[in-house]
Amino acid sequence: MNQTTAGRSPVILITFVMLIAYNLLYWSGKFLHFPDGFYAEVGKHWKLITFLEFLAVASLAVDIIVQFDRFPKRESQLRIVVSAVLGALLVLRLILGVMDLYMRGEVGG
């Protein structure tokens, strides 16, 4: 791969788009109850989904670290900010998920 196309990996770009779309659907489902049933389905499988989301956010962070010098300054800053926001939302969702499990009585004895 040459230097101009190495930073434009379609897998990383698709991962960004999927994580942003998932976060929009999740938070709108949690607070606005739209779309119907999305938040309930995520709640049933939140451990698997959170693990897959962690892998996606980690791969974005590794991509930024490895290819930081290949991006223009503006694009690298945008990728860092978006990845940091996605990581913070992941941590927030993890905390809320554990609290929800605790409130339902599924954690502990």
Could you read off the pLDDT of 26-77 as tens digits, one per residue?
999 989 988 888 888 888 898 899 999 999 999 999 999 999 899 999 999 9
Instruction: Give me the DSSP letters along 36-102.
Output: TTHHHHHHHTHHHHHHHHHHHHHHHHHHHHHTGGGS-HHHHHHHHHHHHHHHHHHHHHHHHHHHHHH
Instruction: Name the pTM for this structure.
Output: 0.86
